[in-house]
Amino acid sequence: GKDLNMVVLLPELHKTGFLLKQPLEFMDKPASLFVLCDGLRNSPAAAEFCAKKMHSLLLPKLSARATAWEDFELADLLRETVEGLDALLLASPACFAGCSLAVGLLSGTRIVLGGLGGVRCLICRPPPATPMGGAPQRKAVQAQAPWTSQLVVGGDAHTIACQDELLRIESAGCRLADGAPGNRRLSSVSARPAELQAIANEKERLLVQIARASNPFATLGLGSNDLKDGKTSIRKVFRKLSLVVHPDKVGEELKARAMGAFSKLDAAASAIESMLGIDQAAAELLALIDAAVDGGRLAADPAVAAKL
């Protein structure tokens, strides 16, 4: 299969900065940079993009510094750099691929680690030195002693096993959690009508509809015919649904889900109103296409795709 991983290792960061005319005068020595990019959706495009761009964003920030770095400043620097890298990725053709990312910055006796997506950063340590006995005996004891490791970054924090990450994904839309809590996966299609009808509770049914919706029309439960009356009808539907899922209208156990659902509902209504204001015919056609995708008709029947 394709090699989706890209690794960047700059073991002598001061030398790299000197060669690129970006001296790191106030960076502790030794200094190194490690970047791991794990491509998603069977494409290395985003991983390659991030691997090539990461140091070009980080080095100018390190070089511009005229005082010593504090620990929290190094952590903030990595966070700002990754946010800038994310903005560049979203504006590039590689944005449709996506990647997980791990980064490590060594500065003297300090190391700053960070990760996004399905990656983990571990600190591995050799066994402690044994002072007793001669050199051969010490080597034999150390050879028998195991190394120790400690998980520093990763785990479930940036996966859909984490409830906070799950809510963030559902609020963003487009890729949504599905399945039992212990066996969740990501789905790119909205919940089918039969699935929603099987949920007896109105609040739960609407929360699932919004969370699973892969497009603004499915979020509000609208078809192409519902757009005939223009923007005024969209706001009416929004108000009706918001009365059910507004955070103030649900119990404490549903409040976190309701906040995400309400935010997504409002964004969907605004998006559809904007589409209708620009080109109503195109909005109606897009609603038909999204409905065909959710129903699996585009993939199953090429004639449907050709007609649309």
pLDDT given for residue 174 in this prediction: 45
Place of tokens 């096993």: 161
Looking at the DSSP bridge assignments, the partners of residue 115 are 102
Looking at the DSSP bridge assignments, the partners of residue 112 are 105
pLDDT given for residue 242 in this prediction: 87
Distance between CA atoms of 110 and 211, rounded to whole angstroms? 41
Distance between CA atoms of 158 and 114, rounded to whole angstroms? 11
Residue 38 near residue 74 (C-beta atoms within 8 A): no
Q: Which residues of 39-60 are buried (b: 16+ CB within 10 A; e: fewer)?
A: bbeebbbbbbbbbebbbebbbe
pLDDT in tens, 28-56: 999 999 999 999 888 899 999 999 999 99
Alpha helices in 173-301, H assignment, sequence order: 193-197, 202-212, 216-220, 231-245, 255-278, 280-294, 297-300
SS3 122: strand
What residue type is assigned to position 186 of the chain? L
Q: Which pTM does this prediction carry?
A: 0.56
Q: What is the DSSP letter of 68?
A: P
Alpha helices in 91-192, H assignment, sequence order: 135-144, 163-172
Phi, psi angle pair for 90, to nearest 5°: -65, -25
pLDDT in tens, 130-141: 665 556 565 555
- 231-245 and 202-212 helices cross at what angle (nearest 10)? 120
pLDDT given for residue 298 in this prediction: 60
Distance between CA atoms of 199 and 258, rounded to whole angstroms? 17
User: To the nearest whole number, what is the mean pLDDT of the chain?
Assistant: 82
Place of tokens 């809590």: 181
Residue 265 near residue 249 (C-beta atoms within 8 A): no
- Give the dihedral sign, CA 107/111/115/120: positive
Q: Which helix (H) or strand (E) holds 45?
A: helix 45-63
What residue type is assigned to position 295 of the chain? G
233 Cβ contact list (under 8 Å, min separation 6):
226, 227
Q: What tokens appear for 270 in the block?
A: 């605004």
Q: What tokens appear for 250 in the block?
A: 């649900």
Distance between CA atoms of 140 and 121, rounded to whole angstroms? 29
State which residues of the chain have pLDDT below 50. 1, 174
pLDDT given for residue 123 in this prediction: 86
